[in-house]
Structure 1
Amino acid sequence: MTETVGQTSIADAIGRELPYLRRYARALTGSQETGDTYAAATLEAILEDRSLFEQSTSPKIALFKAFNGIWVSSGAPVEGAKGEPGGSSGSAEDRAQWRLAGLTKNTREVLLLHAIEGLTTEQIGEVIGVSGNEARELLDIARSEMSKAVAGRIMVIEDEAIIAMDIMAIVEQMGHTVTGNARTRDAAVELARKDPPDMILADIQLADKSSGIDAVAHILKEHGDVPVVFITAFPERLLTGERPEPAFLITKPYSEEQVLSAVSQAMFFSSTETLLT
């Protein structure tokens, strides 16, 4: 009976944190499919060895620590990149890996764990196996390296004027150019036709009750694959793993650092040829 209760307790704890592991894994890999594959491998590892989940300070730390073990054992793949940023000789994945190979080890992980998942540097150290001070140093390096990585033209889809202005200001401070802001699905489609973006930052629920997801889907159909960061107050609804879902997701209310991190990560995995590097 005790073992059954223990298993149920672990299952409940994992269930509560799993959407956020998916968010982290997708942002880290730049892909829903790849990120969810890593998340699934983490669950399989915990099923085989429950001690992976029992030797941490909290269920979330335990889950992310187990994931990190899988990620590291796979080589945290940045090796063997053949493409050049902005070049046409390699695939989109090659170009992304070329950029990633130039970053200091563990910096992306630290940045995402802090900015997107809200972990402290002490918690991050526990997840990736370094001290809190080392995690703090890596975070400083990450902020510097990612901010200088890639710049492009970004379209904002947001129906709340103050939030739109804030996001646009953050994006411009990063060195990107904002093509404009759209408050509805139709306005977003029209703006993209007038000034095709290198990247899209989109709210889910728009002013006229239209969908930011529908707007983005239409734009991508017309203009091809560009990176997208979605913003929502209910991230768990888009992190089920049961359907096509975003690789990059910011939760409302967001912080400036979350926007900085998500935009930088999305740019890294961009397949857009026109990005400035």
Structure 2
Amino acid sequence: MATTSDTLALLPFARRYARALLGTQAAGDAVVARAIGMRLDDVPPQLALYAAITRLTAEDGTAGAIPPLSRHLLLLTAVEELSLADAAMAVGLDPAEADRRITFAREAVRSAVVTKVLIIEDEPIIAMDLRMLVEDCGHTVIGVAATEADAVRLAAEHSAGLILADINLGRGGNGINAVRQILTRMEVPVIFVTAYPEDLLTAEGLEPAFVMRKPFDRFMLAVFTYQAISGGYVPLP
């Protein structure tokens, strides 16, 4: 049985999973709040929390070509970095069926629609790596902004289908502030990138729906991109 301290330590991960699944902070956090009260003592605490969220959202999830439970498996393995066996336990499937479903989901992600991406990142080397990963996923980079002002300007000049934003822009400001300014003029899905995602998953105020931790690989980026684009959600008012 999970203790209160166990549950508190796991909340940021549960919020990341639920928000990425449902596409908004409010929807994700509401599901997590309900999941905390569910008793699933036959599995480890972390899997129990993921399992409760899965049960509460088994028929939900953003629209797209991947069925709900397959999306759950995809997020649990690619984003939460569970083994396939643990992810299968969390969604209530036997390993063979889970393997079949996640194979389909991965193929769907690889063949997903591509879009135009604006990158907000102040570190040149990281920005270059991000550009390469984004382009390797098949997307087009319309620009790289190192400051809030550059981000707002580039967003106004180009029609982005997705924004990939770092949080801390050093002297150039803050990625969340830049995104807030952009979203007053247009609706576009946003993925925030940070080395410390738990700092943005406290549910204490307005927070992003999609938060990707550093470092990440090509497939993790592809999964987040698929979720953001297929849902088309705007993460911050």
Which TM-score applies when normalising by structure 2?
0.92
Matched position secondary structure for 1:193:
helix
CA 1:200–1:69 in structure 2 vs 1: closer, same or farther (change >3 Å)? same
Conserved 8 A contact 1:153-1:198: yes
Conserved 8 A contact 2:6-2:45: yes
| Match 1:193 to one of 144, 156, 168 | 156
**Whose Rg is larger?**
1
Partner of 1:68: 54
Q: What is the aligned-residue RMSD (CA, Å)?
A: 1.9
What is the alpha-carbon distance in structure 2 between the residues aligned to residue 161 and residue 59 of structure 1?
A: 40
Map residues 119-138 of structure 1 onto 2, 5 A cutoff.
119-138=82-101
Deviation at 1:195, TM superposition (A): 1.3
CA 1:160–1:137 in structure 2 vs 1: closer, same or farther (change >3 Å)? farther
Larger displacement relative to structure 2 (254-263 or 230-239): 254-263
Post-superposition CA distance 1:36-95 (Å, at most 9, x none): 111111113x2xxx4x1x211x221111112222223xxx236xxxxxxxxxxxxxxxxx
Matched position secondary structure for 2:119:
strand
**Runs of 5+ consecutive residues of structure 2 not aligned to the other structure:** none
Partner of 1:16: 9
Matched position secondary structure for 1:201:
strand
Deviation at 1:182, TM superposition (A): 0.9
Conserved 8 A contact 1:154-1:200: yes
Post-superposition CA distance 1:143-180 (Å, at most 9, x none): 11123232211100112222222222222222221101
Q: Does residue 1:32 correspond to 2:22, yes or no?
A: no
Aligned length: 234
Partner of 2:60: 77
Matched position secondary structure for 2:143:
strand
Deviation at 1:137, TM superposition (A): 2.8
Conserved 8 A contact 1:21-1:39: yes
What is the alpha-carbon distance in structure 2 between the residues aligned to residue 248 and residue 15 of structure 1?
A: 20
Deviation at 1:237, TM superposition (A): 1.2
Report the residue type matching 1:41 in the other structure.
R
Partner of 1:246: 208
Deviation at 1:105, TM superposition (A): 5.0
Which TM-score applies when normalising by structure 1?
0.79
What is the alpha-carbon distance in structure 2 between the residues aligned to residue 207 and residue 182 of structure 1?
A: 12
Conserved 8 A contact 2:18-2:31: yes
CA 1:271–1:17 in structure 2 vs 1: closer, same or farther (change >3 Å)? closer
Matched position secondary structure for 1:12:
helix
| Match 2:193 to one of 214, 217, 231 | 231
Deviation at 1:124, TM superposition (A): 0.4
Larger displacement relative to structure 2 (224-233 or 182-191): 182-191
Partner of 2:36: 43
